């Protein structure tokens, strides 16, 4: 959307034009305390809101230094708006706008990584938060073990400006170790045990650093750096022109970087912050000493079901996630997927039932105002499926069960990777392993057993025990056969029969 010259643009000088309920709650006088990496929509509608709410409730210099790792578009737009943007909370027929003003500074890591490294060493910064997506951690997706490849190693052991996220963080921590100031590194990405994995990643990166500087950094990391695990949850679709038009209607001024989000939000955080933290107990954050039961519940149920809807929907030619829920038979399928395959693998947090959680999740997905696209959820499947689905399948097999419905989801992903919807329309494959995945399927003919064999052979996605499991192979081939014969309607008809 171009900015119409006749329409005022959101900024500190135009806040008086906003409806009262949408005026920023902070006036910009807050000091920086958090450096956040990843300025995407999710961060702006999730952590930023909780951080701002805590500052509004109880004060504290916890303003956010927002760092864009690569793309500069959001950063430039935010800068032109005095770092203000709106969050539109959307429900069926309702839009509630709010203007956030918690970002106190902006930086572009790709343009000046060394400035970010220096900022990480600034003792005023007492927390780093991350929304960089699964792939940026460069973990082995199957085992979750860090992979320190040549690029990360060069980032850490040379003086060159770092190019990778692990390299940037490790260099920042190295610089900070020299000051001795404590800090918390908080992953807000959808990875299991995200805190523990981030710690393992940075330990592995710093293990590359030779000499006394390396030794000092490792000892400091051990004693003064925490990696609290978190479960983050809010459905936040990518911003589109429709979001910008809706922001203009709701605000009366133009916002080029608004975010639309569902009413529900949840943040469960392990309460381990050696440099202090915002007063999140006043902002609705659940503080705990172990976030893992929440993480597994959310990853396997919410994200697992989201991916199931994404692949089935994309194959059926459905754009928005909420419309996938209208496919005949989908309810029966989700009941079985959650009840028979997912729930038995989980030990949910006290007082929470997986089935009830699953029902809430389905109601949230049904929100027609969100317009979340199946293709958005479908992207990066090789990085997402291990924690969303494959872990569930492995656990069910270890318990001697046949995960029939989970295997249907796997078959849908395989057919999605093959690249065509049920009606023959080409489907894009947006995935860091796209070349490998497409390469594997391009040479096989359409026989389900060959398609399955080609993809199960990719050890960056499938653990050996699953790839070599004839029972699982048989179930996946069965569903691929039904998909080839009659597409998604045939599969869903068989579920209910
Ligand atoms: C989604 C998530 O795009 C996706 O992969 O499953 O972004 C999901 O909307 C969030 O995790 C909800 O908290």
Mean pLDDT by 10 residues, the chain (497 residues): 77 98 94 98 98 98 97 96 98 94 98 98 98 95 91 96 97 97 98 96 97 96 98 97 97 98 98 98 97 97 98 98 98 98 97 96 96 97 96 98 98 97 98 96 89 96 97 98 97 93
Tokens of 414: 């395989």
Strand 127-130 with 103-108, pairing:
unpaired
The residue whose C-alpha atom lies closest to atom 5 belonging to ligand 1 is 377
E strands in 227-368: 230-233, 259-261, 266-270, 286-288
User: Given ligand 1 and candidates 190, 361, 372, 430, which is best to mutate, with the most ligand atoms within 8 Å of its CB?
Assistant: 190
- Element counts in the chain: helices (H) and strands (E): 22, 12
Ligand 1 contact, 303 CB (< 6 A): yes
Q: φ, ψ for residue 302 (rounded to 5)?
A: -60, -60
Question: What are the C-alpha distances in Å from 214 to residues 182, 203, 480?
Answer: 17, 10, 51
CA of 22 relative to ligand 1 center, distance in Å: 26
ipTM score: 0.99
Which pLDDT belongs to residue 168? 98
pTM: 0.96
What is the C-alpha separation between 255 and 117, in angstroms, rounded? 31
Ligand 1: centre distance to CA 412 (Å): 18
The response to whether residue 34 sits with its C-beta less than 6 Å from ligand 1 reads no
Q: Give the integer Cα–Cα distance in Å for 278 and 50.
A: 9
CA distance 118 to 32: 14
Q: Which atom of ligand 1 is nearest to the CA of 306?
A: 6
- The rounded Å distance from CA 377 to ligand 1 centre is 7
Q: Cβ distance 88 to 10 under 8 Å? A: no
**Which numbered atom of ligand 1 lies nearest the CA of 376?**
3
Give the C-alpha distances (Å, rounded to integers) separating 12 from 16, 105, 118, 250.
9, 14, 28, 17
User: What backbone torsions phi and psi does residue 185 show, to the nearest 5 degrees?
Assistant: -110, 115
């Amino acid at each position: 959307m171009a900015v119409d010259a006749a329409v005022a643009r959101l900024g500190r000088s135009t806040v008086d034009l906003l409806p009262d309920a949408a005026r920023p709650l902070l006036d910009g006088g807050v000091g920086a305390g958090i450096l956040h990496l990843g300025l995407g929509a999710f961060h702006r509608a999730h952590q930023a809101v909780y951080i701002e709410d805590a500052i509004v409730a109880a004060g504290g210099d916890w303003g956010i230094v927002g760092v864009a790792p690569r793309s500069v578009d959001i950063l430039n737009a935010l800068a032109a708006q005095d770092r203000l943007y709106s969050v539109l909370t959307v429900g069926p027929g309702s839009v509630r706008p709010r203007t956030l003003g918690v970002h106190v500074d902006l930086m572009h890591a790709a343009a000046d990584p060394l400035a970010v490294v220096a900022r990480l060493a600034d003792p005023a910064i007492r927390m780093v938060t991350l929304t960089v997506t699964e792939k940026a951690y460069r973990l082995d997706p199957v085992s979750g073990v860090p992979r320190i490849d040549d690029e990360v190693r060069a980032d850490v052991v040379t003086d060159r400006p770092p190019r990778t996220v692990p390299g940037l963080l490790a260099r920042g921590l190295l610089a900070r170790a020299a000051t001795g100031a404590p800090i918390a590194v908080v992953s807000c990405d959808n990875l299991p045990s995200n805190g523990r994995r981030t710690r393992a990643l940075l330990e592995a990166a710093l293990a590359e650093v030779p000499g006394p500087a390396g030794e000092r950094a490792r000892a400091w990391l051990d004693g003064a750096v925490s990696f609290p695990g978190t479960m983050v949850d809010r459905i936040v679709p990518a911003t589109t022109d429709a979001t910008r038009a809706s922001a203009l209607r709701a605000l009366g001024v133009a916002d080029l970087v608004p975010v639309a989000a569902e009413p529900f939000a949840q943040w469960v955080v392990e309460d381990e912050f050696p440099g202090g933290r915002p007063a999140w107990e006043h902002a609705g954050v659940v503080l705990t000493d172990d976030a893992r039961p929440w993480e597994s519940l959310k990853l396997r149920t919410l994200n697992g079901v989201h991916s199931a809807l994404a692949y089935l929907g994309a194959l059926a030619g459905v754009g928005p996630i909420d419309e996938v829920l209208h496919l005949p038979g989908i309810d029966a399928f989700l009941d079985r997927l959650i009840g028979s395959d997912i729930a038995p693998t989980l030990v949910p947090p006290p007082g929470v039932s997986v089935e009830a959680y699953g029902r809430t999740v389905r109601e949230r997905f049904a929100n027609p105002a969100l317009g979340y696209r199946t293709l958005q959820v479908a992207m990066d499947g090789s990085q997402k499926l291990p924690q969303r689905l494959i872990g569930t399948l492995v656990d069910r097999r270890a318990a001697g069960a046949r995960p029939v419905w989970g295997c249907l989801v796997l078959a849908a992903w395989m057919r999605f990777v093959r690249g065509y919807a049920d009606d023959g329309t080409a489907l894009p494959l947006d995935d860091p392993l796209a070349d490998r995945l497409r390469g594997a399927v391009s040479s096989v003919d359409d026989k389900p057993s060959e398609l399955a064999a080609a993809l199960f052979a990719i050890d960056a996605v499938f653990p050996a025990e699953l790839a070599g499991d004839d029972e699982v192979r048989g179930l996946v081939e069965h569903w691929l056969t039904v998909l080839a014969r009659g597409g998604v309607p045939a599969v869903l008809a068989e579920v209910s029969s």
